[in-house]
Chain A
Amino acid sequence: MKNSFVQVQNLAKRFPIANEEELTVFENANFAIEKGEFVCITGHSGCGKSTILNALAGLDEPTQGCVIMDGKEVVGPSLERGIVFQNYSLLPWLTVMDNVKFGVRARWPNWSKEQIESQCHKFIDMVGLNGTELRKPSELSGGMRQRVSIARAFATQPKLLLLDEPFGALDALTRGNIQDELINIWNETKQTIFMITHDVDEAILMADRVLLMSNGPRARVAESVVVDIARPRKRAEIIDAPEYYKIRNYLVNFLVNRSKELSGSSPSLNEEPLTVNPGVETRPMPETKAIA
């Protein structure tokens, strides 16, 4: 934790509510992300995942605690942290090319036109959008828009990439394809990624570690589940891995049963989530009720 690339320390978010005690979304959230790691976080709606991601991004100030990246405290947004939002957030008056350029130009203001163009082309190719450079977002499908958004974020080569349910609005087929692309890009760039997802299979496919949040209010980052499946992982083959169903059952069981039981009790100061490795551990799983 002490020397980790990203350190989240005793993070808390509270909202004042009229005529009521203030609402504590979560408190004493502690976790770390290592350089080059792909971490997913999952939990039920409203538990505070986006709030944590926005705090990591510097878009939203936590009520307490802090985020440290690369030895420096996060204050305000920065080009060191790229973000992909669920609703793509492309600028609709710009073409695909210009949307990607928007990021690259902001990142390297002194680059020549050629340098900027080649960087943009590289990442537009990477997400499989060559040939659509001159289209506007309104002329693209949802999946293509999200690809542009991913290209824009990756092209600025941030130290940390934050993705807030990037595939939540896409159909299953498109989602699968873009997941594959994201993994490929990650393999090439070895970027550190923090991603919110509601999809257990997506988390197992992509993540090194899955953080589990209990239900809000007073949610906690309860556990850190290691996904110990060899890479490269393929969507079609991963289900044959012996660890796959163990991890899957563990995650589903948490979301269906234990996330409720754990809610309402905050962790103590500096308490870190329990690390579990359901793929190898023979430790009995608490209440193995839910199966695929």
Chain B
Amino acid sequence: MDIRGKSIILSLAILVTMLGIWEMSVHKPESSEPLSEYELLMGGAEQESRVPPPSDVLKLAASELSNPFYDAGPNDKGIGIQLGYSLYRVLAGYLLAMLIALPLGFVIGMSPLMYRAINPFIQILRPISPLAWMPLALFVIKDSEASAIFVIFICSIWPMLVNTAFGVSNVRKDWLRVASTHELSRLRTALTVILPAAAPTILTGMRISIGIAWLVIVAAEMLVGGTGVGYYVWNEWNNLDLTSVIFSILMIGLVGMLLDMILAAAIKRVKYQE
């Protein structure tokens, strides 16, 4: 068997073992003692708030995923709808960031003057936690939806910008000479030589950005509330529905992985060997 087959079997073995340990450790033996006074006071909530076993999570997942888009009021929407809200915000902020970062990255990468002029701003703004912008965004924009999108915008712009500028400024001089000996205009040079040459670096920046954006959207939605998978996690925690919390955590991971895989596939398409 090749290493691929072996690794799949090993992964499955690890998964089953972990789930087994988890299942065993949370299954309390049926308590025969009568409820204590405290437990009575909590109305049996203690019983509910133990970490649920994976079998419960799987059961919930099956029922949630069989109807992911149901909508029964503001506090009861299907996981599909919640993920949809989050994806919408992430993509909106991300596309806005692309619209600015790619052209600006080209300008910075092609002009040493612009690089020097703009670099200090990037250096100061880049290390700021995206959530630190939230109060300012809420105050200025006065709209929680737009503020969440802004936070995604601001966190995903830096890797794209920096990688684009880096990729563009490091295009091999030989290739630029080919462009100039063929009398290509600056725009044509940018599109037919610099863009394909820098594409793997640019897309790597975009891959980092989408990862960060997906990390940040959960936190942002916990703050602004209303809709989205971040809000969903927080809401289920307030409901003490840990099964749903665990289920949504897994879904966040799954969607994040899919987003990453899309960008990885795009990188593979534009990668070239020198």
Contact = CB atoms under 8 A, between A and B. Distances in A.
A244 B226 CA distance: 90
Interface in A211-231: none
Interface string B184-225: 100000001100110100000000000000000000000000
Interface stretch (A44-52, A83-91, A112-120): A83-91
Interface stretch (A22-30, A73-81, A196-204, A269-277): A73-81
A85 B174 contact: yes
Interface string A71-110: 0000011110111010101011110000000110011000
A57 interface: yes
B270 interface: yes
Contact of B178 (A81, A91, A93): A91
Interface string B144-182: 000000000000000000000000000000110110111
Contact of B272 (A78, A102, A136): A136
A94 B178 CA distance: 13
B193 A91 contact: yes
Counting chain A CB atoms within 10 Å of each CB, which of B181, B182, B196, B197 scores highest? B181
B189 to A, nearest CB: 11
A103 B182 contact: yes
B184 A106 contact: yes
Contact of A92 (B180, B182, B183, B272): B272
B36 interface: no
Contact of A79 (B182, B192, B193, B196): B182
B182 A93 contact: no
Contact of A81 (B181, B192, B196, B272): B181
Query: Chain A contact residues (Cβ within 8 angstroms of B): what range?
Result: 20 to 34
B273 A138 contact: yes
**For the complex, would chain B's binding face be called helix, strand, loop or mixed by DSSP majority?**
helix
A264 B183 CA distance: 37
Contacts of B182: 79, 102-103, 106-107, 156
Given A85-B174, A138-B274, A91 B183 contact: no
A59 interface: yes
Contacts of B175: 89, 91
A186 to B, nearest CB: 20
A80 to B, nearest CB: 9
B178 to A, nearest CB: 5
A77 B183 CA distance: 7
Contact of B274 (A85, A92, A102, A103): A92
A107 B182 CA distance: 7
Nearest to A80: B183
A138 B272 contact: yes
Given A77-B180, A106-B182, A87 B174 contact: yes
Given A91-B178, A93-B270, A106 B196 contact: no
A76 B196 CA distance: 25
Nearest to A93: B272
Contact of B183 (A79, A85, A93, A94): A79
Contact of A57 (B181, B192, B196, B272): B181
A82 B182 CA distance: 8
A220 B121 CA distance: 51
Counting chain B CB atoms within 10 Å of each CB, which of A79, A87, A91 scores highest? A91
Contacts of A57: 181
A89 B196 contact: no
A93 B197 contact: yes
Contacts of B199: 93
Interface of A: 57, 59, 76-79, 81-83, 85, 87, 89, 91-94, 102-103, 106-107, 136, 138, 156
Interface of B: 174-175, 177-178, 180-184, 192-193, 196-197, 199, 270, 272-274
20 contacts: A57-B181, A59-B177, A77-B177, A77-B181, A78-B181, A85-B177, A89-B175, A89-B178, A91-B175, A91-B178, A91-B196, A91-B197, A92-B273, A93-B270, A93-B272, A106-B183, A106-B184, A136-B272, A136-B273, A138-B274
The 4 closest A-B pairs by CB, nearest first: A138-B273, A93-B272, A106-B182, A89-B174
Given A77-B180, A103-B182, 15 more contacts: A57-B181, A76-B180, A79-B181, A79-B182, A79-B183, A82-B181, A85-B174, A89-B178, A91-B193, A91-B196, A91-B197, A92-B272, A92-B273, A136-B272, A138-B273
